[in-house]
Structure 1
Amino acid sequence: MDKIFQSEITQIKLDAATFKGTGECIEPTYINYFFGNNGTGKSTIAKSIQSGMGVTYAPGVSADDCQVLIYNQEYIDRNMQNFHNLPGVFTMAEENAEIQQQIDEASSKIDVAQKLITSAESEKVKLLDKKDRLDKNLYSEVWEKTNTLRTEDFPNTQTGVSNSKKKLAEKVMEYAPAEYDLNELKRMYSSAYAAVPKEYELFQAIPDSSVLDNIEGKDVLSIAIVNASETQLAEFWKNISSAEWVRTGHTAYHQKAGGKCPYCSQALPPNFEQKLTESFDDQYKKNRGRLEKFLSDYRDAANTLFIPIAKMPESVYPAIDLKPYKDKLDALKGIITANIQRINAKVTEPAKIVTLDDTAPLLAELQALIEGYNKLIEENNAVVDDAPKKKEECKDKFFAYLAFFVKDIMTAYRNSYADIEKQIKEQQAIITKQNAEINELTNSIRILNSQTKETESAMNNINLMLKDAGFQGFEVCPHWEEKISPDGSVQKIIPSPVRNYAVVRTNEITGEKEIAQNLSEGKKNFIAFLYFQQSVFGSTDAENLHRKKIVVIDDPVSSMDSGTLFIVSAQIRRMIHICRNNVDNRNPVVNGNFIKQIFILTHNAYFHREVTYLYANRWDFVSFYLVRKFNNKSSVTLYDQQNPDCPSERMNVNPVKNSYAALWESYKEVKSGIPLKSIIRRILEYYFLQLCGYEGDDLRKCILEDHRDDFMYDENGAETPDRYEMAKVLLSYIVADNSGVNDGINYTDDFLDVQLYRNTFKMIFKYMNQEQHFNMMMGIR
């Protein structure tokens, strides 16, 4: 379950020193306590925070927004190298309270503006993500919908974009939608992108579709051609209805009959030809001649028309479907044949009225087909003649057609895109406005800071705490500069503004203040902490006053006595109160919330207890960690557990009740013989020598003499000399550490059997009648 509150730093990935390659990751909240023995890796954690390596800040917060203030040994060395010459500490004086109030108000407004920026940036990120998803959906939809057109119909038109959904969609968006005839576009593509471009022969056009219907002399078909002669012979032909029969026979056979009748073979009268001619009138003969000429003209015109159009090009353009054309040719041939048969019938029976079928409609349809065919062929030939240009034209038309094909998708996309862009601009406007507000407020703070002056507040605070801690005769005062007067005397001049402070003691004889020399380690550390505290509550740089402060305190009570440790603990608790105000400002113990996050790292169980009891029950913004090292690899464990009173909630667990309890926790987990031996020695020493009051020799006698057989023999009476020797090792170790006496046994690395260590350790408690204490500390019921 995640913490409810997370402060400026939300994650620290550790990968330095003994954390190298461990993958350890911390997700801190506002107040963070780390406990661990010296050398386990606490300082590595502090330095990681200071350097920013592996550090992740909350959304809307960057390292530039924060000032990391770290108190550690390096800080002490840097500032106390010449401990009598501390850098200047600048804070706000009481008379500047009104200005400070204005600065606080401006800082509060900056916080509000930053929250608005964070919210707007978060919303902007969501909108950008939404826009990204919108883009990806568009790319997929366009890709899928145009798949057949792209891959089957026009595969070679997408050079450079054929393998990218994104590039394809962006290419389509460059074109205005245009609706083209898809078949025409395919034919153009076929010609422009053909492997071997080819030109084709045109079809023969029909100059005049009415040519057969308007042949001169057609009116003769509607005339009943009859013989009007009144000679005796003509009357005879009429009576027997044989006039046409006689004329036909005469025409066919009179040259071959030899003066005889071709039907009865009797000799014809000498004047037969004259009488036969007189038996047919002139009009009849004239109409007969017109009919025969029309038949001849019709046949000639039909041949002139049909033969060229029936002969198609040797190589036909593949896009042309010839079936309609052939069907119409067959139909035309049928009509012409039928018309000739009708004309022949009239020749046989001139008196018969005949009507011909019109060919013009069919020829017009044929001509339309031919024109369509020729248009396709001409388009192909034009493409072939200028292939590069036509390829580009074809490609442009293809993408314009795609734009038309997916216009509904594009319209929906553009509408959604415009809406998202509008919202992004609105959020950006908020960010821009609030950034301008922050810049203006920051400038105001800078001006207000310039109106303040360096004061003695920090110096007075340090001196007050030095006095409370019992540092008699020591104080901090502005450091002077020595100036030699013309008479050779030396004057001590304090510069204005004060640039440095000095740690001084008063000379008991002269009463003058002298630079303090040879301060103890504890005193130097205490003064360094007091100086650090002033930089937390004030600043050494006016520019940093409005930056969020992250405080890191690494083992602050090293070499301090109980008095100074108490004061340091109290001051750190004050810092914790200020940090707590960021998430819970009800009934604040101290005012302010400028410490945005705090990290406290220590190996001192007493100090740890002094600074952790305040908010140990606030799991939502307080975290406890235990830092350990095994086999030269460090680890960090978050100490919390399920709340037994409310299973749906979690609660903090302080890993350190006291230093003695910490030893037992380490005893339970250590797996290596040498560190286990050290832990056992420290437990035995603390419990039996300090708490129970045994002397080392008494404890040795009780175990090695009074209970010798219990260690030398097991429950079955078998010898177990290893246990006895192990007991000698552990007890001799205690005596050697405390009195410098041992029995000459070489025990440092002789025994590395971890289980033997543990069994012997337990037996010591058993035979000292302290088994119940062992079970309690081990959690055995």
Structure 2
Amino acid sequence: MENKGSKIEKDLRIEKIKISDVATYKENVEINDLRKINFFYGSNGTGKTTISKIIASPNNYKNCEVKWRSDIKLKTLVYNDDFVRNYFYQSENFPGIYTMGEGAKDIEEEIKKKKDELDKIKEELINLNETIENKEKEKTQIQDNFNEVCWQSLYLKYQQNFTEVFKGYRNNKKNFADKILLEYKTNHAAVKDYGELLKEYNIIYNQTLNKLDEITKIEDTLINDVKLIEVDKILSTSIIGKENVDIGKLIHKLQNHDWVREGKNYLENSFIESEQKYICPFCQQRVDKDFKHKLEEYFDETYENQIKNLESLNDRYTGVKKALEEYYQKLSTIQNNQYFNEKKQETEEKFRLLFQIMSTNIEKLKEKKDKPSIVIELESILEILYEINEIFDGINREIHNHNNLIKNRKTEQERLESEIWHFFCNEISQYIDTYKTNTSNAEKALNSIEGKIEINDQKQVDINTDISTLEKKIKSIKPTVEVINKLLDHFGFKGFRLEALDDDKHYKIVREDGSPAKENLSEGERNFIIFLYFYNLIQGVLDPAENINDDKIVVFDDPVSSLDSDVLFIVSTLIKKLLKDIRDNNSNIKQAFILTHNVYFFKEVSYISSRKTYNKRKDTIYYIIRKKDNISGIVAYEENPIKSSYQLLWEEIKRKDVDKVCIQNAMRRIIEFYFKLLANLDEETLINNFENEEDKKICRSLVSWVNVGSHEIFDDINYSPNFEEIEKYKKVFQKIFEHTKQIEHFNMMMGIEKPVS
């Protein structure tokens, strides 16, 4: 059936083959840019059959991969040694090949409609699979972007500060991002700021830290004493004598109570015993005892008691100051307490202000003591004392937490780590929400597309079932017998033919008289009939339940082995027709691989046109397989690189990376072919033209094949060059052409232009 121009026809095929660690493919090899028609040329043992086996059964090669376009695999038919062995040697008869019979035009027309419908579904599936691939890439990019955000914003930012928390996530961005997502979903720890977390972390994970003693606060008794001193009424009392004493009126009038009180003290020390008089400390006049008595009466017991209260108050305040100074001194001895040290400057400033105020207050008390009649007011220090104790309360809370952390280190580590992960999640919560939204959208799109694919897959199954049911009505194995026998007869193979068995399921090979012929076929006859069998299998199916029109790819691995030139030409012609149908989209074969070591067959089957430009096609590519040091490699060419076997030998010599064994054999075969053709090589004369013994030895190793033949074993010639000697071989090789006056031929084949004279 023809189906030209369909997009599905162009798209479905193998687009890449990866080969590694199998046979002579010791190093990774990727065959990219595969096209509809793919030619592979390589000598025996270079690795052609390995490629055909990988295409046939990729699952058998764990380090290799066959990549299908849009991940849609097609039926694959491979002609190689395995196929010959399975179908010719391991069973007595050939399984029958079912193809379409004649006389079923209406059914064929209905099948064609079904096939067209199936192609549309396949095309839609390709588009859906491409959309899925793009969505998967989008989803992967979303994940990669999120991984990078987590890594840059959290890991790189905090790795030095929270080293222990990052254990297990240091070398894998994906694992780290997954941990963040898990914590975001399940973590309900308390929210703390970075500084608080870091402080706790440095405690919990610092194994050298010990418990700390709490700071002793300023005692309440001392504070209460200050409170009482500051409100003592004596401070606001003007301490004076009795006003109803004679001299009291004068003292009150003059307001010189403190001056008189001070004079009284001097008066008591100026008594003259002989005169029973006192000397006034102010006017130096004699005064009698009665004046002194009046002074004592003025400064009575009440006055003296008030003075004593004032002095006591002064002593108490001085005592408080001394106690606070001693307390402050003890604070200065505290060491290795980070929480106290953090507040040390603030505490020192409080105490500096405290002592400054107290010193001022002591001066006021001293003045009051000297002048009891004045009224004073002390500046309060209570607020400062309370503030100091509040600072120490805060410090002690920190110390308490510190000690608890050390006491319950393991439990606290688990708690803290949970809080740190929660902190991380909060740090990038907006990115997490964006990631979850974008991922959810991508997954919804993927689910929708996958649903459509599932529907189309079921449609494919249903249509294939319909096609299979229709084909069963007109499928038969007999048309294949007729086609193969007609070809055998047409090409002169008269001694045997194919015959369908009575079960209408198998073929046997028979002679003209009907006797079995399989066991005594020549190698060439065997290879030709098995090739014809495979060629017809491409057009049919082995199981009548299968669809004949299923899309497929075919692989030919050295199909002309042991065939003479006439049959080789026949095989080439049949394959070329198949390739033309593929190029013209006139076949359900979507891709072909041709692998061979036969230069003549390669040239025949790959020939398209004598016009050079026409041989470079977008639907065709060429590969050369070479083996160096028992390691295979593959090089791709847009144009056919094989001109002839003779040219190919010269191409080997031109290569810079030529294998040491290959160059030796290539040189020998060139000399054998060229000089046998000319028949004018005198081996001994040629060898004697070389003066250097080593050059003579190289020359002898190269020309010996001319006389004895290239397919014999030479026990006496075992000279094989190493890498350093390859250049010597090339020089001797060139000298051979110089000494035989054939240097023009050498220059032509090597592409050396004659210098302009």
Q: TM-score, normalised by structure 1?
A: 0.71
- Where does residue 302 of structure 1 map in the other structure? 317
- Do the aligned partners of 1:91 and 1:458 also contact (CA within 8 Å) in 2? yes
- Do the aligned partners of 2:557 and 2:596 also contact (CA within 8 Å) in 1? yes
Letter of the 2:199 counterpart: K
- Where does residue 592 of structure 1 map in the other structure? 587
Q: 2:212 matched to 1:204?
A: no
- Where does residue 78 of structure 1 map in the other structure? 86
- CA drift of 1:549 comes to 3.1
Q: Using the alignment, how far apart are the partners of 1:268 and 1:755 within structure 2?
A: 151
- CA drift of 1:475 comes to 3.9
Please give the residue correspondences for 1:120-135 in structure 2 after superposition, counting only pairs within 5 Å. Answer: 120-125=132-137, 127-135=139-147
Pair 290,530 (structure 1): closer, same or farther in 2 beyond 3 Å: same
- CA drift of 1:440 comes to 1.3
- Do the aligned partners of 2:688 and 2:696 also contact (CA within 8 Å) in 1? yes
Q: 2:45 matched to 1:29?
A: no
Please give the residue correspondences for 1:453-472 in structure 2 after superposition, counting only pairs within 5 Å. Answer: 453=472, 454-456=475-477, 457-472=479-494
Query: Which structure shows the bigger proportion of residues in helix conformation?
Result: 2
1:340 corresponds, among 365, 374, 380, to 365
Pair 521,445 (structure 1): closer, same or farther in 2 beyond 3 Å: farther
- Do the aligned partners of 1:216 and 1:294 also contact (CA within 8 Å) in 2? no
Pair 728,446 (structure 1): closer, same or farther in 2 beyond 3 Å: closer
1:380 corresponds, among 399, 416, 424, to 399
Q: Using the alignment, how far apart are the partners of 1:754 and 1:732 within structure 2?
A: 21
Q: Using the alignment, how far apart are the partners of 2:314 and 2:204 within structure 1?
A: 41
Q: Using the alignment, how far apart are the partners of 1:247 and 1:664 within structure 2?
A: 139
Residue ranges of structure 1 left out of the alignment (5+ in a row): 480-493, 508-512, 581-587, 641-650, 689-698, 738-745
- Do the aligned partners of 2:314 and 2:365 also contact (CA within 8 Å) in 1? yes
Q: Using the alignment, how far apart are the partners of 1:531 and 1:440 within structure 2?
A: 33
- CA drift of 1:558 comes to 3.2
Deviation track 1:54-91 (CA, whole Å, cap 9, x = no partner) reads 643336666x9244422124422332227861012234
SS at structure 2 position matched to 1:80? helix
Q: 2:16 matched to 1:10?
A: yes
Pair 272,387 (structure 1): closer, same or farther in 2 beyond 3 Å: same
Letter of the 1:516 counterpart: A
Q: Using the alignment, how far apart are the partners of 2:268 and 2:698 within structure 1?
A: 161
- CA drift of 1:228 comes to 3.4
Residue ranges of structure 2 left out of the alignment (5+ in a row): 1-9, 656-660, 721-728
Pair 168,370 (structure 1): closer, same or farther in 2 beyond 3 Å: farther
- CA drift of 1:330 comes to 0.8
- CA drift of 1:277 comes to 6.1
- Where does residue 429 of structure 1 map in the other structure? 447
SS at structure 2 position matched to 1:476? strand
- Where does residue 652 of structure 1 map in the other structure? 639
Please give the residue correspondences for 1:529-568 in structure 2 after superposition, counting only pairs within 5 Å. Answer: 529-541=531-543, 549-561=552-564, 564-568=567-571
Q: Using the alignment, how far apart are the partners of 1:165 and 1:772 within structure 2?
A: 65
Give the superposed CA RMSD.
5.1
Please give the residue correspondences for 1:182-193 in structure 2 after superposition, counting only pairs within 5 Å. Answer: 182=195, 186=199, 190=203
Pair 450,261 (structure 1): closer, same or farther in 2 beyond 3 Å: farther
Q: Using the alignment, how far apart are the partners of 1:181 and 1:84 within structure 2?
A: 82
- CA drift of 1:402 comes to 7.8
- Do the aligned partners of 1:579 and 1:595 also contact (CA within 8 Å) in 2? yes
Percent sequence identity over matched residues? Answer: 21
SS at structure 1 position matched to 2:385? helix
Deviation track 1:682-735 (CA, whole Å, cap 9, x = no partner) reads 4455x56xxxxxxxxxx57xx77xxx999799799xxx999999999777558x
Q: Using the alignment, how far apart are the partners of 1:24 and 1:165 within structure 2?
A: 29
SS at structure 1 position matched to 2:38? strand
Please give the residue correspondences for 1:44-193 in structure 2 after superposition, counting only pairs within 5 Å. Answer: 44-52=50-58, 53=61, 55-58=64-67, 65-81=73-89, 85-93=93-101, 95=104, 96-97=107-108, 98-99=110-111, 101-103=113-115, 105-125=117-137, 127-146=139-158, 150=161, 158=165, 160=167, 170=179, 174=187, 178-180=191-193, 182=195, 186=199, 190=203
Deviation track 1:106-160 (CA, whole Å, cap 9, x = no partner) reads 2552354145324422542354245234313422332343367x17xxx7x7484
SS at structure 1 position matched to 2:199? helix
- CA drift of 1:605 comes to 0.6
Q: 2:457 matched to 1:439?
A: yes
Please give the residue correspondences for 1:240-251 in structure 2 after superposition, counting only pairs within 5 Å. Answer: 248-250=262-264
Q: Using the alignment, how far apart are the partners of 1:303 and 1:21 within structure 2?
A: 97
Pair 343,424 (structure 1): closer, same or farther in 2 beyond 3 Å: same
- Where does residue 521 of structure 2 map in the other structure? 519
Q: Using the alignment, how far apart are the partners of 1:342 and 1:724 within structure 2?
A: 130
Q: TM-score, normalised by structure 2?
A: 0.73
Pair 93,14 (structure 1): closer, same or farther in 2 beyond 3 Å: farther
SS at structure 2 position matched to 1:515? coil
Pair 680,74 (structure 1): closer, same or farther in 2 beyond 3 Å: farther
- Where does residue 323 of structure 1 map in the other structure? 348
Q: Using the alignment, how far apart are the partners of 1:748 and 1:108 within structure 2?
A: 68
Deviation track 1:209-248 (CA, whole Å, cap 9, x = no partner) reads 7433322455423x8x4653374x6677789987765555
Pair 301,185 (structure 1): closer, same or farther in 2 beyond 3 Å: farther
Deviation track 1:167-214 (CA, whole Å, cap 9, x = no partner) reads 877478556673449479738965995622122242124555743332
Q: Using the alignment, how far apart are the partners of 1:236 and 1:38 within structure 2?
A: 146
1:609 corresponds, among 604, 609, 614, to 604
Pair 430,370 (structure 1): closer, same or farther in 2 beyond 3 Å: same
Letter of the 2:490 counterpart: D
Pair 654,248 (structure 1): closer, same or farther in 2 beyond 3 Å: closer
- Do the aligned partners of 1:12 and 1:49 also contact (CA within 8 Å) in 2? no
Pair 5,267 (structure 1): closer, same or farther in 2 beyond 3 Å: same
Q: Using the alignment, how far apart are the partners of 2:401 and 2:732 within structure 1?
A: 100
- Do the aligned partners of 2:361 and 2:379 also contact (CA within 8 Å) in 1? no
Pair 536,427 (structure 1): closer, same or farther in 2 beyond 3 Å: farther
- CA drift of 1:303 comes to 5.0
Q: Using the alignment, how far apart are the partners of 2:386 and 2:546 within structure 1?
A: 93
SS at structure 1 position matched to 2:435? helix
- Do the aligned partners of 1:113 and 1:437 also contact (CA within 8 Å) in 2? no
Q: Using the alignment, how far apart are the partners of 1:600 and 1:607 within structure 2?
A: 8
Q: Using the alignment, how far apart are the partners of 2:448 and 2:671 within structure 1?
A: 63
Q: How many residues align?
A: 685
